[in-house]
Amino acid sequence: MGRFSGFGVTLRQVFRPRVTERFPGELSPPPPRLHGRHVLGRYPDGMEKCIGCELCAGVCPARCIHVRGADNPPDAPVAPGERYGFVYEINYLRCIHCDLCVEACPTEAITETKLFAFSFTRRADAIYTKEELLVDDDGRARRLPWELWSDDLDAHTGAWMRATSPGGDASYEGRVLWSADLGFGHRPPEQGQRRRGTAGDDVGDGEAEAPAPAAEER
């Protein structure tokens, strides 16, 4: 009987509702923390956030990101500071959507949408260039022919990585500590941060005495 016990999983699924029965005409709602297709953000004045530091490429476990920085043109700078991302590519044949690149970015340049449905007909289409990743003039991700979009898959792309408790300090809960961007739909800060009490017990935010924050709210 041991060899047939594995079929129990299959038989149980046969009688459950099919999630993809109406796909692609009807998409199931994405989970709140789904990591989808990346976008590169811009500031409200249109300047790019990427400074070509290559930290995202360095932290990527799948080695799917290729970045090459260049010096900013003095007469027409692309990004604030001395350098900008001259080349930026993501190979989605390798990407595992671990989100480490988003966490490593010092300028909040890269973030992720909820887009999860790709249909590549050529391998070259799976290698996204900077022009394809950069948000448009409305702050929205560019829709490409092989992507299956619905209206709300990038609704919270703008500044979704806003800090709620820097350094694990629960006194920062509810504070927005990132600067604005060109995008739209800022995700509200997440709740439920906790810190250790003086006696070693977990203490909720209502019981904790909040120190003065180190960063200004913007």
- 30-52: pLDDT as tens digits: 887 788 899 998 888 889 999 99
Residue 60 has pLDDT above 70, yes or no: yes
Of residues 191 and 126, more confidently modeled? 126
Of 180, 177, 183, nearest to 162 by C-alpha is 177
Of 218, 217, 209, nearest to 171 by C-alpha is 209
Average pLDDT over residues 139-143: 87
Helix (H, G, I), strand (E, B) or coil at 147: strand
> Domain for residue 19, yes or no?
no
DSSP state of 170: G
> Domain for residue 17, yes or no?
no
Residue 119 has pLDDT above 90, yes or no: no
Number of domains in the chain: 1
Domain holding 81: CATH number? 3.30.70.3270
Residue 210: band (very low, low, confident or very high) from pLDDT cuts 50, 70, 90: very low
Hey, what are 208's tokens? Answer: 């904790």
Residue 198: band (very low, low, confident or very high) from pLDDT cuts 50, 70, 90: very low
Q: Which range, 28-37, 107-116, 125-134, 160-169, is most confident?
A: 125-134
Instruction: Tell me how far CA of residue 67 lies from CA of 57, 74, 78, 84, in angstroms.
Output: 7, 21, 15, 10
> Domain for residue 116, yes or no?
yes
- pLDDT confidence of residue 58: 95
Hey, what are 199's tokens? Answer: 């006696």
> Domain for residue 77, yes or no?
yes
> Domain for residue 216, yes or no?
no
Residue 217: band (very low, low, confident or very high) from pLDDT cuts 50, 70, 90: very low
Average pLDDT over residues 109-128: 89
Residue 103 belongs to what domain range?
32-150
- pLDDT confidence of residue 40: 93
Contact by Cβ (8 Å): 14, 107: no
Average pLDDT over residues 56-80: 94
> Domain for residue 38, yes or no?
yes
Contact by Cβ (8 Å): 194, 205: yes
> Domain for residue 165, yes or no?
no
- pLDDT confidence of residue 215: 42
How far apart CA 109 and CA 57 sit, in angstroms, is: 13
